[in-house]
Amino acid sequence: MKLKNSLIALVFCVFAASSLAAGNMEGQQAPDFALKSSTGENLRLSEYRGDVVMINFWATWCGPCRQEMPHLDALYSRYQRVGFNLLGVNIDDDSGRAMDMIEDLGVNFPVLFDARKEVSELYDVSAMPVTVIVDREGTVRYVHHGYKPGYEDMYLDQIRSLLRE
């Protein structure tokens, strides 16, 4: 009887683990999207296949996003020439505010506007900021929810390891 119970528990654990893994995007193909950017051109994720891409979801009302952006910009400036790209996806309803903040912070990476929230829904963005790192094959490798000082070092390690692959 005991053995039967433990077997059931084991099966349940396996199912629970697999369902949790299914909820997580890591290891899955990054959903493709196209959005209008701050420069006016449309950018599509799949056109960056072959590069390591970081997708950073942010909003003007999010304090940690403001804190994180200069670090992300530094990463972009440093690794852009070796096959790294960064797409900042702003989810504000009003893109004007986002443009002001970009200018304010002097951000150089492309910022896309997802006013219809289609892309943030696609990536199941439930916190702010959310940072997704996609490898050269277009697979989601890392997903980070929120930001705390020091996360940029973790991003750096992950980007460097993906660039080396």
For the bound state, the minimum distance from the C-beta of residue 158 to other proteins, rounded and expressed in Å, comes to 27
Residue number, 34 or 74, with CB nearest to other proteins: 34
For the bound state, the minimum distance from the C-beta of residue 46 to other proteins, rounded and expressed in Å, comes to 9
For the bound state, the minimum distance from the C-beta of residue 92 to other proteins, rounded and expressed in Å, comes to 18
DSSP summary character for residue 135 = -
Q: Which residue has the tokens 């200069």?
A: 70
Residue number, 33 or 142, with CB nearest to other proteins: 33
DSSP codes of every residue in 59-77: -TT-HHHHHHHHHHHHHHH
For the bound state, the minimum distance from the C-beta of residue 110 to other proteins, rounded and expressed in Å, comes to 12
For the bound state, the minimum distance from the C-beta of residue 119 to other proteins, rounded and expressed in Å, comes to 11
Residue number, 48 or 84, with CB nearest to other proteins: 48
Residues paired with residue 113 on neighbouring β-strands, in sequence order: 36, 90
Where on the chain is the footprint of other proteins (CB under 8 A)? 34-36, 41-44, 47
Residue number, 18 or 39, with CB nearest to other proteins: 39
Round to whole Å and give the CA distance between 10 and 8.
5
Q: Which residue has the tokens 């277009």?
A: 138
DSSP summary character for residue 136 = T
Sheet holding 42-44, edge to edge: 42-44, 34-37, 111-113, 84-90, 52-58, 130-134, 140-145
Residue number, 122 or 143, with CB nearest to other proteins: 122
Instruction: Decide: 130 and 123 in contact? Cβ < 8 Å.
Output: yes
